[in-house]
Amino acid sequence: MAQLAPAAASSHGSLCKAHPGPRKKRPREMEPSMVSPSYDIKFQDLILFILEKKMGTTRRAFLMELARRKGFWVENELSESVTHLVAENNSGSDILEWLHFQNIKVSSQLELLDVSWLIDCMRAGKPVEMTEKHRLTVIRDHSDDPNAGSQKTISPAENYISQYACQRRTTLNNCNRIFTDAFDILAENFEFRENETSCLAFMRASSVLKSLPFTILSMKDTKGIPCLGDKAKSIIEDIIEDGESSEVKAVLNDERYQCFKLFTSVFGVGLKTSEKWFQMGFRTLSKIKSDKTLNFTNMQKAGFRYYEDLVSCVTREEAEAVSLMVKETVQTFLPDAFITITGGFRRGKKIGHDVDFLITSPGSTEQDEQQLLQNVINTWERKKLLLYYDLVESTFEKLKLPSRKVDALDHFQKCFLILKLHHQRVAGTKANQQEGKAWKAVRVDLIVCPYERRAFALLGWTGSRQFERDLRRYATHERKMILDNHALYDKTKRIFLKAETEEEIFAHLGLDYIDPWERNA
């Protein structure tokens, strides 16, 4: 049987939008240059598929044409009949991920080969022996299995662990906390030192271990797990052998780390302020508060004033009590408003540092939305429930979509508040009679978004931080799309993709839907 070579792309592409002359271009299927010759297949036992990923369209087309001229059977599409998959600059894990993304069924005997094998075949004019340098394999240790060899090559049909958190289901049941706690400390230290690369490396390592359904007991258990660099593996090895990591211990004892951890625990204090205070010689909050030369922002003043309450965790019962307060007040002004708790509490956490709410209304006007938060603020001020607020007006109308500032805050109207939560509103909580204090200061964030943007905003504000980062990275690198809290843009089709639910966004991205409680990456 004969195979047709793929159509060659026009060298001009879409750059020539118009032609100065009146001549019309002939239909694509009638152009002589688009018709490919047929070739005899000499090697019936091999059915090849050449992967375009990281290779490019032009090089792939050239290799397909060359292989067909030499008598090889080359398929345009990947199917179960393919026996040999050829790739360039891809690892075996990369190909397994690609196969999973495409949701394509392939033979369990499929050979994963580097392009060097195909080039050697072209030189020889026939199939050559597949050696270890040609094969792209993922190795899993089976030395504990008496019925198996010391190692086994994983077939594409077997499960794998994705490098993207948005393709892993991560619950709060962390089987590897001893390792992830260590990675989180190292990531935080690098964040304090503004070393973004190292910070992200340890965040990703921590994230992938949190998703594992088993506990790592030895270094062989780390084989095939993505996002574990040499440094991360050395930390794991230290903990396995000694019960702790000397590097993590050194960070915990580091004065700079301790001070930054302390300073940033104050509401309104970031890295720049922490650096300033550290360089000025401050080591305690009491010294900072008593210094007369320092000028604090209103947010920082509130942070110091209610420090003890704000650094204590918010319980789920307290979050639910705040939720009732928010709903009662918001629905006074927008009766049909949807108020959804987001952040860690939506992901199933029992404690948190603040409580976030997304507010949207199907029947509201733009003016209603603009006035809502100010009306809420005024109501709580009259009731003496508002301890602090910072209202940020919407800049959504001025935003030029799609936004490429992926990690930037969204442009919806929002308010950062500190509310007075009376203990009597919280189920199972009594006032501290010794202090005579019948309330607790609680951090609350309110976000108002247009109704048609609710799915994107809800997805973005639910988190976790690493889940959202990987979701957007996946959209960019694997789907050629731009995703943020406002929209999903398809760069290939040059259109915005509509979605009324989170499920629809996942579907647009070709991802299995992951429930909020499985996004604790």
Domain CATH for 290: 1.10.150.20
**pLDDT for 14 beyond 50:** no
Q: Mean pLDDT: which of 94-103, 146-155, 206-215, 423-432 is highest?
A: 206-215
Across 287-399, the runs of DSSP E, i.e. the strands, are 314-315, 338-341, 351-352, 355-360, 386-392
Residue 209, in any domain of the structure: yes
Does 323 share its domain with 269? no
Residues in the chain: 521
Does 375 share its domain with 294? no
* C-alpha to C-alpha distance for 221 and 236, rounded to whole angstroms: 11
Residue 129, in any domain of the structure: no
Give the DSSP H or E segment for 467: helix 465-479
Contacts of 249 (CB under 8 A, 6+ apart): none
Does 220 share its domain with 345? no
* C-alpha to C-alpha distance for 143 and 38, rounded to whole angstroms: 49
pLDDT tens figures, 156-176: 433 468 899 999 999 999 999
pLDDT level of residue 107 (50, 70, 90 thresholds)? confident
Does 289 share its domain with 413? no
| CATH code of 212's domain | 1.10.150.110
Give the domain range for residue 334. Answer: 314-508
Query: Domain count of the chain?
Result: 4
Burial of 173 (C-beta count, 10 Å sphere; 0-12/13-18/19+): exposed
The residue among 305, 332, 367 that closes a domain is: 305
Long-range contact set of residues 505-511: C-beta below 8 Å, sequence gap at least 24:
505/455, 505/456, 505/459, 508/481, 509/471, 509/474, 509/475, 509/479, 509/481, 509/483, 510/101, 510/103, 510/479, 511/166, 511/167, 511/474
Residue 409, in any domain of the structure: yes
Residues 46, 72: contact at Cβ < 8 Å? Answer: yes
**pLDDT for 498 beyond 60:** yes
Does 432 share its domain with 499? yes
What is the pLDDT, as a whole number, of residue 390? 97
- How many other CB atoms are found less than 10 A from the CB of residue 425? 15
Going by their DSSP bridges, the two strands 386-392 and 413-422 should be labelled as antiparallel
Average pLDDT over residues 1-22: 36
Compute the mean pLDDT over every residue in the chain, rounded to the nearest whole number.
Answer: 85
Does 423 share its domain with 477? yes
Residue 98, in any domain of the structure: yes
Does 242 share its domain with 271? no
pLDDT tens figures, 424-479: 999 876 544 445 789 999 999 999 999 999 999 999 999 999 999 999 999 999 99
Does 178 share its domain with 265? no
Q: What are the residues facing 2 on neighbouring strands?
A: 40
- How many other CB atoms are found less than 10 A from the CB of residue 114? 20
Flag whether the pTM goes above 0.75: no
| CATH code of 475's domain | 3.30.460.10
**pLDDT for 258 beyond 50:** yes
Residue 131, in any domain of the structure: no
Residue 141, in any domain of the structure: no
The residue among 273, 305, 337 that closes a domain is: 305
Does 199 share its domain with 92? no
Does 286 share its domain with 420? no
Among all residues, which ones are annotated catalytic?
354, 356, 445
**pLDDT for 182 beyond 90:** yes
In order, the DSSP letters of 41-97 are: -S-TT-EEEE--TTT-HHHHHHHHHHHHHTT-EE-SS--TT--EEEESS--HHHHHH
* C-alpha to C-alpha distance for 507 and 514, rounded to whole angstroms: 11
Does 429 share its domain with 337? yes
Average pLDDT over residues 486-495: 93
Residue 161 token pair: 């662990």
pLDDT tens figures, 379-429: 999 999 999 999 999 887 666 666 655 445 688 999 999 999 999 999 876
| CATH code of 109's domain | 3.40.50.10190
Residues 442, 354: contact at Cβ < 8 Å? Answer: yes
pLDDT tens figures, 354-372: 999 999 999 888 888 889 9
What is the pLDDT, as a whole number, of residue 92? 80
Residues 84, 106: contact at Cβ < 8 Å? Answer: no
Residues 372, 332: contact at Cβ < 8 Å? Answer: no
Share of the chain above pLDDT 70, in %: 84
Residues 446, 325: contact at Cβ < 8 Å? Answer: no
Does 245 share its domain with 268? no
Which of these, 21, 121, 30, 15, lies nearest to 70 by C-alpha position? 121
Residue 95, in any domain of the structure: yes
Residue 192, in any domain of the structure: yes
The residue among 70, 96, 124 that closes a domain is: 124
What is the pLDDT, as a whole number, of residue 18? 37
